[in-house]
Every structure is written in structure tokens, then in C-alpha cells.
Amino acid sequence: MANAPYLYRPIDKHGVPLDFLLTAKRDLAAAGRFFRKALKDQPLLAPGKIETDGASVYPKAFSDGAQQGLTPGDVRHRVSKHLQQGIESDHFHVKKNMPKVGGFPVLWRKRHKLSDGRGPIFWRMAETHVISALKAKRAEVSGHIHDLEKRIARHRANLASIDATIRLFSPETDPDAIPPKRPYRRTRYFAHNELPRRALNILRETGRPLGSGHIADAVIAAKRMPSNDSKLRTLVVERVATTMRGLLKRGLVEKTGTSRDVVWRLV
């Protein structure tokens, strides 16, 4: 199209459009005007790194923007071709060839059609993508909740049946007085009965009482787990403490001390 205007539009690292500017020319003045428009009233948007196509006007426009205080002085500029795909795809429908009837007779009408009095069309398109993603995420979470509620309903029905059976054969027993048992969740780090076996072997090899933390460190070293992973160590310590309480009930170990000072020894 003759005398076609140029549309400046930035996106953030997540691909969300931030602003736009429609200009008659793509030159240094237009690039500087766009840069000021995008950042003058929104200083929090000042980036530390800017990636553009290979237009020669950008370096000068960015240096002028730094002198005007729009960006930090150490902002980095990088020319990237493949990263422009996020921009090129965010306004796919706007880039269609416009017919002569109902087209863009003058520049101000082009700006009006792109904004349509309700804000930039790119913002509305971004909002559409965001809303679609939120709807999909809500449907996923709602599905999990629905599945959990069905499981809870089945468990409650089983519990009511068990309570009725207990009252039938033992009227003096109050089912509500029976404390709930904490379910054991097997981790992907240990096979069935692996941790109790390793804990007992460690106590035999050392020949002295050990705390849960020392046993956990020995287990981590024996299995060649990352020793600098604090979250993993916390998980293993908790598993070891649970395992040692189970061994205590079975009469295989003894406990000395309380709270964090607890140590375990073989019987």
C-alpha cells in the first residue's frame, strides 16, 4: 500500500503487548517518540535489556532515551530475529490487507480504528489470551476439586458403613473416639521398606546412638543424593524421623531425649 504507515508495538518477556504507536514514517524521530510514549508515564516499565529487529534507528533512539532518564544508562540492546515472532503473531488479524472500501483513508482514522475508543486493540487481544488461559486453569483446578470431592464422598460412605458395623458388634465403642491414622505417602526416593533397612544398618555400623539428622545425612551419602539440596535433606530427615518412630513401636530401637535432642539406638 502506498505511503503505508508503520506500527510500533512492544511486548514484555511474557509476550504481553505494552503499548503501540502508529506513525507515517519509520525514522529516528518516530522511534524516539515511541520510546518516550512507552516509558515517560510508566517508569516502572524501564527495561534492563531491549531486543529489536535490525532497524538502524534504534541504537540512537535508545541512547537518547538514556540521556533523558527514560532508561538506566547500562541498558543493553540486542538485535534478535526469532524473538520478533511474539510481536508478529499478536496482531495477526490486524495485518490482513484492508479493502479500499472501509480502509484507512487518513492516518488519524487508522489510529482510531486501532484504538476503537476502547483502548488499543492489542491490549484487548492480550486480555483475550489471558482470560482464555485463566479459564483453562480454572477448569483444571475445578476438575481436581470435583474429583477430590467425589473421593471424599466415597470415603465418608465407607466410614459410615464401618461405624455402623462397629456399633452393631460393639455397642459400647464410640467410633468417633478412634483417632485417625496418618496416611503414609511413599516418595520416589526410597523403595518399599528401604529406609527402615538403611536406618538399622547405619545404627549397626556406627555402633552408637544417632539423631534423625545424622541418620538422614548417612542415607543421603549412601544413595548419592545431592548433599547441598536443603529441601531434599529436610524431606529425608522427616522421613527418617517417621521411620524411627515406626521402628520404636516395633521394639527394634530405643529413643533417648526429647524434641530435637532425640537420639536413636538399637535394642
42-93 pLDDT, tens digit each: 555 566 677 777 778 878 877 777 777 766 666 677 777 655 555 555 555 5
Residue range 182-216, pLDDT digits in tens? 776 666 788 888 999 999 999 999 999 999 999 99
Task: Tell me the β-bridge partners of 265.
Answer: 254
**Amino acid 72: pLDDT:** 63
Average pLDDT, rounded, for the chain: 77
Q: Name the residue with higher pLDDT: 117 or 48.
A: 48
Reduce the secondary structure of 174-208 to three states and give it as a string: CHHHCCCCCCCCCCCCCCCCHHHHHHHHHHHHHCC
Lowest mean pLDDT among 69-73, 231-235, 258-262: 69-73
In the predicted structure, residue 160 carries a pLDDT above the cut 60? yes
**Amino acid 159: pLDDT:** 93
**Amino acid 10: pLDDT:** 73
Q: What burial letters (b/e) apply to 248-261, b meaning 16+ CB within 10 Å?
A: eeeebbeeeeeeee
Residues 6+ apart with CB under 8 A from 22: 5, 6, 7, 8, 107, 110, 111, 114
Task: Tell me the β-bridge partners of 76.
Answer: 49
